[in-house]
Amino acid sequence: MTRERFISEVRACQGQLRRFLASLCGDTALADDIAQEALVRAYVASGRFIGNFKAWLFRIAYNCFIDNLRRVRQPAADLDAPEALHVAGGEESDASFKHEELQRALVRIPEKERTAIVLHYFEDLPVKEIATVMGIPSGTVKYYLSVGRDHLKQYIRL
Amino acid sequence: MKDIEQYLRQNKPETPDEGQFIIETNARLSSVEGIKDTVDAERYRGRLMLVIALVAGLVIGCLLTLFVMFFPVPSAETELSAFSKAIVSLKKWETLLLVPVAACAVALGILLMNRKKEVL
């Protein structure tokens, strides 16, 4: 894959990639760092790429996120801190509050459940594609989605 | 369940603006261009070696077969060993034996292709 083609493919899905990572780690700056690292890894390996670029890139990004998690070994981001996540929400005020509440809830649930939830509800990926990204069977993804929803209900006022 | 699903879909965060991201990505990609060239060259060398090994195997196999055909050992001079007897009896059932082997090879090929698609 040429660099121009790689960049044009990245341009098409960079927003979703960064939103996915921001939702996973709860910190947009860290998410961008992980996204850059994933893109570098993807570019070096792009000669081997076959198939769905977005799913492939998301899988690399997810692996980078896991690597980062193991390296840092920190608890989830402290959302009370002033530099805590500010991913742009839809409408202002109420919508913004709801968005922050959702983000706060997301970082409290286990990482695998969070990943499945974010990929399914934010990135609209089907279960089969989520299974490819996470490297687990489809049945396990469905389980994580179900348990993740139950866990989220405990932290969100519907 | 519908409530939480609706809530999640309604409060989906917006995608961040491209901003400086692509510019920074381009700069990082420039710094790893050399590594990518090395990786690509290694992969090319690996494929080349595979093709060379395949061709060499075919050529040597053909030459050996021809040698055996043109210089057969007279059967009167040799007494069949146990191994040769086994080979001769296998020869009778070669078609039946080759079918499952070929099926396994095709299945393995498909599995490897699917695995390759899965990523890194």
Site from B1, B2, B10, B11 to mutate, A interface, most A CB atoms within 10 angstroms? B11
Helices in chain A by DSSP H: which ranges?
Answer: 3-25, 28-44, 53-72, 94-106, 111-117, 127-134, 138-155
Q: Note down the domain range covering B59.
A: 1-72
The answer to whether A35 and A61 have CB atoms below 8 angstroms apart is: yes
- Chain A nearest CA to B96, separation (Å): 36
- Chain B nearest CA to A71, separation (Å): 20
pLDDT of residue A85: 46
Same domain, B68 and B83: no
> Taking 90 as the threshold, does the pLDDT of residue B104 lie above it?
no
> Taking 90 as the threshold, does the pLDDT of residue B5 lie above it?
no
Q: Note down the domain range covering A60.
A: 3-80+91-155
The answer to whether A7 and B25 have CB atoms below 8 angstroms apart is: yes
Q: DSSP assignment, residue B97?
A: H
Most distant pair of Cα atoms in chain B: their distance: 88
Q: What percentage of chain B carries pLDDT values higher than 70?
A: 87
10-residue averages of pLDDT along chain A (158 residues)? 86 91 88 92 86 90 91 58 45 68 87 93 92 93 94 84
Does A150 map to a domain? yes
pLDDT of residue B76: 59
The answer to whether A62 and B119 have CB atoms below 8 angstroms apart is: no
Interface touch B13/A23, C-beta < 8 Å: yes
Residue-averaged pLDDT of chain B: 82
Contacts of A36 (CB under 8 A, 6+ apart): B24, B25, B28
Q: What is the mean pLDDT of residues B7-16?
A: 83
What CATH number did the domain enclosing A45 receive? 1.20.140.160
Residue of B nearest to A12 (CA): B18
| Nearest-angstrom CA–CA distance, A114 and A151 | 10
How many structural domains does chain B have? Answer: 2
| Nearest-angstrom CA–CA distance, A90 and A83 | 20
For residue B13, give the nearest of A56, A122, A149 by CB distance. A122
pTM here is 0.67
Q: What is the mean pLDDT of residues B3-15?
A: 84
Same domain, B35 and B12: yes
Chain B segment 39-78 residues within 8 A of A by beta carbon are 39-40, 43
Tell which wins on pLDDT, A98 or B6: B6
Same domain, B12 and B49: yes
pLDDT of residue B78: 61
Interface touch A102/B7, C-beta < 8 Å: yes
Same domain, B66 and B97: no
Confidence label for B54 from pLDDT (cuts 50, 70 and 90)? very high
pLDDT of residue B116: 59
How many residue pairs from chains A and B have C-beta atoms closer than 8 A? 110
pLDDT of residue A148: 93
Task: Judge residue B2's burial from the number of C-beta atoms within 10 Å of its C-beta, 0-12 exposed, 13-18 middle, 19 or more buried.
Answer: exposed
